[in-house]
Every structure is written in structure tokens, then in C-alpha cells.
Structure 1
Amino acid sequence: MYEVLRDEIRNARVPGGTQLKAAHLAERLGVSITPVREALRRLEKDRLVSYQSHRGATVIDLSDEALLEFYNVRAVVEGLGARLAAARITPGQLAELRSLHGQMVADAAERRLVGLGELSRRLHLAIADIGGPAFLGQHAHAIRDSHPVPAAASLWLDAEQAEAHLAEHARLLDALEAGEGEAAERIMIAHVRASGAYRVGGPVGD
């Protein structure tokens, strides 16, 4: 039950601001109300839902200030991941990242933009996992999961933004290949913060 609801929220099938009525959820999912209430309590601990008097559980919809904080935290963690990855990345891992980037470039060229957001997420998290396989990668995943952005609501749907971000990814991969940790960290931080600025200034995000 918890996993089902968490997946629906993370993939924005249940968008921010949605009220979650335990009785309605139990009926929709064909279960008793007890596991639904337990799932909602766990989702509150994950900061995916909040409780308000007389309203019950509501899927959290971040304010602009909170969104900027989210992207700044991402920038710090993923930037450190890139810095550490530059010192430990293997040829095989680099080849996998370049293959993923190549897929994104090909999709963008064919205007297959909808899936680019998820591919970008995979690339970012793969770099964090390479840089910090013991702890940092797990934190990067948890931060991303705390505020899901659906593939259908991504800055990658903007062809001009997609082209600019792909160029940044290419620079990042070149820095990783060269073992230039400081450059990789700098590129990643600027890249993520730019996504946050776009998210606050526009209707969508990375």
C-alpha cells in the first residue's frame, strides 16, 4: 500500500495539492482503511504528504522558496558526487554514461523530448552513485525522491533548454573523463541551479 501510493506521488499521478481521503483510497485500492492510514503516516515521515486540521492528508506542493532550497541541496550533493566521481570513474562506467548521453542526444535530435527528463535523472544519479557508493549516492536518490517531477512536466520538453542542458552534460562527461574533479563539481552545481531558476521562473522543471 505504502509503495503504491509513494510511486503514484513520485510519478505525479497524484499531483501536489491533492487531498488524500483514507476511505476513498481504501475503496479505490480494494483494501481496508487501516493499511491506508499507516501508509499515509509513512508518507508524512517521507515529507511527501502533510496533515492539516479538517483537511486530512494533502500531497505537498512546494513553494518557490522551498523549490529553490530543494535545487540548492541537489546542487551541493550532486556536485560533490561529480567531484568524487572524477577520481574514481572507470572506463566502463564512463562508457555507460556516454551511451546514455548519446541516447539523449539522438532523442533530442528526433524531437523525442518526453523521456529526456527521466534519462537525465538516471545520468545524474549514476554519477552520484559512482562518486559516493557508500553514502552519497543514497542521499542523492532520497533528495530526488522527496520532490518528484513527472516526465510530462520537464524543462526537457523545451527544445532550446534541452539543447543547452545536453551541452552541459557533454562538458560534465569530458571533465569526468579528464579526472577534473573541481571542474565537474562546478559544472554540475551550475547545471542544477539553472534548473531550479528555470523551475521557479517558469511552469516546469528538470
Structure 2
Amino acid sequence: MPVVAPAMPLQGESARPGVSLHDELLVALRDYIVEGHLADGARVPERQLCERFGISRTPLREALKVLAAEGLIDLLPNRGARIRELGSEELRELFDVMGGLEALAGRLACERISDAEVAEIERVHHDMYRFYLRREMHGYFQCNQAIHRMIVEAAANAALSATYASFAGRIRRVRYSANLAKERDRWGEAMREHEMILDALRRRAGNELSDILFLHLRNKRKAAQAEASA
């Protein structure tokens, strides 16, 4: 079974220098939702979350506003918030768009990426593989998402980066859960696809990387849909 890191109460001061309590709460709350601790369509239990993270409702609600802007939750007028639930058609459309964006990012990245950037992606890839071998989904997914972001950043296109960021949050939860699909070893498939991604990136094979990334997102969407209908 995959190992999921538990949510921990936040301290009075951030444990990480230069990171505000707001940002630390945002990361912890985002991970808590992405990792499926609350069901699709469920109301966000504000009191329970305040107790879990050791905070008051004011910082929690500020964090929820950010997550609503990212597309993870829906804010309900005078009724709190609920976990965003994606319909099958919306899911298909979002993954098609993300596949196109990542395909373009891969092609541009191969034209512009530096050796140092490739080396950093390779380092994170090896960290991700170690998490995969230990079946630690939390660490694996953090590395996985970092690699996708670094490829987009290496494309050096501000409009592409902004568009990508506006869509990424809306399917982050689904991308996580797709790795847990019971009907197929999607996690293993994803790891093998990432080996192909890294190989194409090393060779600066733009068209090949573009095709791999598009297929990677298409396979992720199919696994997510299969898991949702199981």
C-alpha cells in the first residue's frame, strides 16, 4: 500500500526559514485535499481542519480562498466550501488542454533548456524513483509535480507558464488519485513514462518529448476516469 504522509499541526512560527505560516498552511491544506482525505463534493469541515492544523478560522479561510482560485474547492456563499467535483466531460477537456500545454512546453524546453536545468530535473527524477520504490506516494507526487513544473519553466514562455498554472490546480487532485488506480498499475506506467521523458529531454528531442508528454497526460486521464467509475 502507498504510504501517505499525515497532516501535522502547524507551529507558532514556520519551521522553514523564509516561509510564512500562511504559505506553510497553504501547502499542508493543499496536500491534505489533493491526497484524498476529503471526498469529492464533500463539505470542507472548518472546525476539524482548525483543530488538525492548530489554527483559527481566519487563516484557514484565507487559505481556502487561494485553493478556490486554484480550482481545488468551490466556495459556497454563506455556507463554507466544498471539494470540487469534476464531471467526466470537464475532466476530459481539462486533460486535453493540459496535454497540449505540456506537449508545447516539452518542445520549447528542448530548444532552450540548459545543462544545469537538465541535471536538476534528473536529480529530482532520481528522488522520485526512490519514493516510488518505497511506495511513498506523498514524496513521489511532490517530485513528480516539480518535474512537470520545471519542464514548463524551461520552456521560458511567460504566457505558457501562466496558462499552465491556471489549469494545473484544477486537476492536481485527479492526477494524484490516478496513480492509485486499482484496475491497472498506473503508478508503474507513470514511472516508466517519466524515464522516457528524462531520456528525450537529455537528447533535446523536442518532437519526441512533446508526444511522450501528451500521451502521459492522456494515460493519466484514462486511469483517472477508470478509477472514478470503479
- SS of 2:172's partner is coil
- Give 1:152-163 correspondences, 5 Å limit: 153-155=177-179, 160-163=185-188
Q: 2:115 aligns with which of 73, 91, 99?
A: 91
**Structure 2 residue aligned with 1:100:** 124
* TM-score, length basis structure 1: 0.75
Separation of aligned partners in 2, 1:65 and 1:151: 16
- SS of 1:202's partner is helix
**Deviates most, 62-71 or 137-146:** 137-146
**Deviates most, 81-90 or 38-47:** 38-47
CA shift, 1:58, in A, is: 2.8
Separation of aligned partners in 1, 2:157 and 2:110: 13
Q: 1:127 aligns with which of 146, 151, 159?
A: 151
**Deviates most, 116-125 or 5-14:** 5-14
Residue 56 of structure 2 is aligned to residue 30 of structure 1:
yes
- SS of 2:158's partner is coil
Q: Which blocks of at least 5 consecutive residues in structure 2 are unaligned?
A: 1-20
- SS of 1:192's partner is helix
Structure 1 residues 20 and 184: alpha-carbon distance in aligned structure 2, compared to 1, 3 A threshold: same
* TM-score, length basis structure 2: 0.68
Q: What is the letter of the counterpart of residue 99 of structure 1?
A: R
CA shift, 1:131, in A, is: 0.9
Q: What is the letter of the counterpart of residue 110 of structure 2?
A: A
**Structure 1 residue aligned with 2:211:** 186
Separation of aligned partners in 1, 2:118 and 2:40: 36
Question: Retained in 1: the 8 A contact 2:181–2:223?
Answer: no
Residue 29 of structure 2 is aligned to residue 8 of structure 1:
yes
Identity %: 21
Question: Retained in 2: the 8 A contact 1:175–1:183?
Answer: yes
Q: Which blocks of at least 5 consecutive residues in structure 1 are unaligned?
A: none
Separation of aligned partners in 2, 1:198 and 1:151: 9
Question: Retained in 2: the 8 A contact 1:82–1:181?
Answer: yes
- SS of 1:62's partner is coil
**Structure 1 residue aligned with 2:193:** 168
Structure 1 residues 53 and 122: alpha-carbon distance in aligned structure 2, compared to 1, 3 A threshold: closer
Separation of aligned partners in 1, 2:30 and 2:135: 27
C-alpha RMSD of the superposition: 3.7
Q: What is the letter of the counterpart of residue 209 of structure 2?
A: A
CA shift, 1:5, in A, is: 6.8
**Deviates most, 95-104 or 50-59:** 50-59
- Give 1:54-73 correspondences, 5 Å limit: 57-73=81-97
Q: What is the letter of the counterpart of residue 71 of structure 1?
A: F
CA shift, 1:61, in A, is: 1.0
Separation of aligned partners in 2, 1:175 and 1:198: 24
**Structure 1 residue aligned with 2:224:** 199
Separation of aligned partners in 1, 2:82 and 2:186: 32
